[in-house]
Structure 1
């Protein structure tokens, strides 16, 4: 009963604000305010407010909301773990199968012959500068900033 009264008062106040806004020749804003202020009365008339009031004081309903929240947390956690692992089990299995196919199709030229050991990919070593050269760039930056 009190919820219906509060909703009616809120709607009446909103409609009053809408009238004042329309008087100031802001008709679009006044229409929007009137639309928002009619929502509480509509909720009362459809019975949603009564249902919410009954639900708010029902321990069974709160237990149900708790279970819904728990299930949501479980869904979110499992999705996060799947993303971290790289997809679902089916996707990981398909990726392993694709990797095996690529290994089987690898050209015979890259395979080592009987007399050779496994080939190693060699990278050129980066050219190292002397110890004085390493700090010359830093010294130039510090001098530029007056340090």
Structure 2
């Protein structure tokens, strides 16, 4: 839908973006990880481009090679940015031992590493979706570089 005053408002004020997760108090890390890994819009676009998102670092490299056709679509850009950030977080959580999703009191999901460092993957996803830099594979490499045993396959608990 193209509404001229809305487009002008967005140019002046920017797009609101973000993801919030709220709970009734019970914290199920597996359930949160599963919920945040859905990323339907990103998975659909990757599938159309012939890319399999298998929660690996290699899939991040493949995403970095996509032509950024979505940047012209003001409607889907913030949603795609959310999905990209959540997918990046899912790859980190599933491949780096000890990494887990942390939900801030305001509902914002971040990834917490064993070092205590918190990564705002949603903000990183929005930056990547809008500019392509830094690359997702580069972000992953930087995150995993400082973590002990990040190069080892993650074991299931």
Q: TM-score range, shorter-chain basis?
A: under 0.3
Judging by fraction of residues, say which structure has more strand.
2
Judging by fraction of residues, say which structure has more helix.
1
Structure of higher CA gyration radius: 1
Q: Which fold has the larger relative contact order, with Cα–Cα distance below 8 Å and residues 6 or more apart in sequence?
A: 2
- Give TM-score scaled by structure 2 length: 0.21
- Give TM-score scaled by structure 1 length: 0.22
